[in-house]
Chain A
Amino acid sequence: MICASCAASRGTESQQPRSAAGWVAAGAAGFLLAWLAFYYLGLALARIPADFFGAV
């Protein structure tokens, strides 16, 4: 049996934070992914014919 704080510290001892540069690169890639997702969503909506919404 061990105390709660010892158990908590044992759980985090081996975990090293990932490097800052790695997160920046991943963040930029994720932002690009979101941009592309919204862009293609917009294009798909723009391709719907206007008469679908009753326009003349």
Chain B
Amino acid sequence: MSRQPTASDILEEAVNLLRRAPAAALVAYLTGAVPFIVALLFFLNDMLHSPFAAAQALTGSLALAALFVWKNVWQAIFAARLFQTLSPGAARSGRLWRLVWMEAALQPVNLLLPLPFPWAVAFFRNVSLFAALGVADPLRSAARQAVLWTRQNWTILFFITIAALVIFLNALVAIIVLPGLTRSFLGIEGEFARAGNHIFNAGTIAAAAALAWLAIDPLLDAVYVLRCFYGESIKTGEDLRAALRRAVAALVLLIAIFPAARAQTGSIDPAQLGRSIDQVVHRREFTWRAPQAAGPEPEGRWVGWVRAAGDLAHRGWDYLKRVIEEWLRQNPQKEAPGKGSPVTRHMLETLIALVIALIVGAAVTFYLRRRKPAVAAKPVAAATPAIDLTDHSLTSDRMPEAGWQELASEWMAKGELRLAMRALYLAKLSFLAGRGLVSIRSSKSGLEYRRELERRARSKPEISALFAENNAQFEAVWYGFHQTDVEAVSEFSEALTRMKASLE
């Protein structure tokens, strides 16, 4: 290379290198990075929140150290594959065990020196690359390339740090905001949506950082692969050889294509060319601005459609006839003489026609038989499931609202006012769920239903006020020691009627 590549040149080329990287390279990277990142997130979560963190730290850290080496070995293979796309034939084989031991020996030092010295960052990435390429002395080669073009290295790291911060913030905001948006716009409520403000925690921050790292890390690898490629090329001229190879390949392609193109232009059938042009100009992407063809306008509302449908059917029939004719047309060259052969073409065609007729007949018979069921099924009335109102995990979606009201009347008649009140409360929830104002979950508390109702029934504030009042009354009786009487239960029941009237 005649001049030092600038930081923007390297970054741009690194992105292009990643885009044209072979799938095997990307799979190699993900094979190493994904297990390590997932294990790291689990480890951090366990250490932060588990009451047995101290006991688990030893085994957890051992697994993490093993996965760290695993990640670095695959990352080195990924970098070598990237290098090979720039310089095919650069790798030497039979060095996998040396690569494993070198990664285990050197990369943990990088773990303990997380200082942003550009030469240190470059050295640890370069050494992985040269070890995976099977270079005789990877340490010396890595050190030589690490100290090359320091200002360019600083600039690259500066831009990549800013990009990493932006990606981290984007990932964090996406993780925090998406569950709420999904609930508001699609009505899907998962664990993340129910977490509310608690979603902003150490685990979320770690997950966002992991995503940002997964986006930036391959780019850094590509950057240092390019720096090594251009750095080595000062001595070997490999970049010139690669450029020459590309130029020769382009020239060979051009030479191969040019005579073929010339030969083609000489033997073009004018009728075929006309048909091809006609097909192209009738494509949707070219017809949107073309003026309509002049000609007599169809008269009447249905005339145009009938004419077009008739044309379509006619063209379809013509096509079918042509296909059948071509299929049945005898080929004198391939036809065997009739006397000598055991089966003539005519016999074969008759047999095929017979088989097709049999298949069509069987299909028609099957269809007609299916339409007449032998025994008419009688509707079966669904049995009402036995409901245990004392069960705390009972949810209102077990029965429709009318069923709960009927159950409430039964328990009221038996004098079990507390159970009757619970049945009425579940009837209210069933009614509100039927209107799409709440979504039923066994884990939800009355307060959560109230908040959901306030959010979804903003235009009817009296509904949420009525529900809040009823909820307090129900919780005092069901969870507390408040006594209730027939009058209070009847009022509770009337609240549902008022709720319905308000929503009508």
Q: Please tell me which stretch of B82-90, B99-107, B210-218, B278-286 contacts chain A, meaning at least 4 of its Cβ atoms lie within 8 angstroms of it.
A: B99-107
Partner of B107, one of A28, A30, A35: A30
Which of A7, A8, A38, A53: most chain B Cβ within 10 A?
A: A38
Cα(A39)–Cα(B60), bound, Å: 8
In the bound assembly, the distance between CA atoms of A20 and B50 in angstroms comes to: 42
Complex CA distance for A45 and B136, rounded to whole angstroms: 41
Rounded to whole angstroms, the CA-CA distance of A31 and B73 in the bound complex is 13
- CB closest chain-A residue, reference B53: A46
Q: Give the segment of B62-70, B151-159, B294-302, B404-412 that binds chain A.
A: B62-70
B140 is an interface residue with CB less than 8 A from chain A: yes
| Inter-chain contact B65/A38, CB cutoff 8 Å | yes
Q: Is the CB of A46 within 8 A of B236?
A: no
Q: Is the CB of B101 within 8 A of A45?
A: no
The answer to whether A27 touches B104 (Cβ under 8 A) is yes
Could you say which residues of chain B place their CB within 8 Å of the CB of A15? 136-137, 140
Least CB distance from B145 to A in Å reads 13
Interface pick from B108-116, B243-251, B336-344, B432-440: B108-116
CB–CB A33/B109 < 8 A: yes
Query: In the bound complex, do residue B65 and residue A42 qualify as a contact, i.e. CB atoms below 8 Å apart?
Result: no
- Chain B, interface size category, equals 35 or more
Whether the Cβ atoms of B202 and A4 lie closer than 8 Å is no
- Contact A45 B53, CB 8 Å, known A15-B137, A53-B202: yes
Residue numbers in A under 8 Å from B62 (CB-CB): 35
Tell me how far the C-beta of A54 lies from the nearest C-beta in chain B, rounded to whole angstroms: 7
Q: Mark A2-13, 1 if CB is under 8 A from B, else 0.
A: 001101100110
Bound-complex Cα distance A45 to B43 (A) = 10
User: Do A42 and B47 have beta carbons less than 8 Å apart?
Assistant: yes
The yes or no answer to B44 lying at the interface (CB within 8 A) is: yes
A1 contacts B by Cβ under 8 Å:
no
Q: Chain A contacts of B60 at CB under 8 A?
A: 38, 42
Q: Among the interface residues A5, A8, A16, A46, which one has the most CB atoms of the partner chain B within 10 A?
A: A46
Which residues in A have their C-beta under 8 angstroms from that of B262? none
Q: Is the CB of A35 within 8 A of B61?
A: yes
Q: What separation, in Å, do the CA atoms of A27 and B68 have in the docked complex?
A: 13
Partner among B98, B198, B202 whose Cβ is within 8 Å of the Cβ of A20: B98
Residues of A within 8 A of B (CB): 4-5, 7-8, 11-12, 15-17, 20, 23-24, 26-31, 33-39, 41-43, 45-46, 48, 50, 53-55
| 5 more A-B residue pairs beyond the given contacts A23-B105, A35-B61, A45-B47, with a C-beta to C-beta distance below 8 A | A4-B237, A7-B235, A23-B101, A46-B53, A53-B48
Please give me the 6 A-B residue pairs with the lowest Cβ-Cβ distance, nearest first.
A46-B53, A27-B101, A26-B105, A38-B61, A27-B104, A45-B47
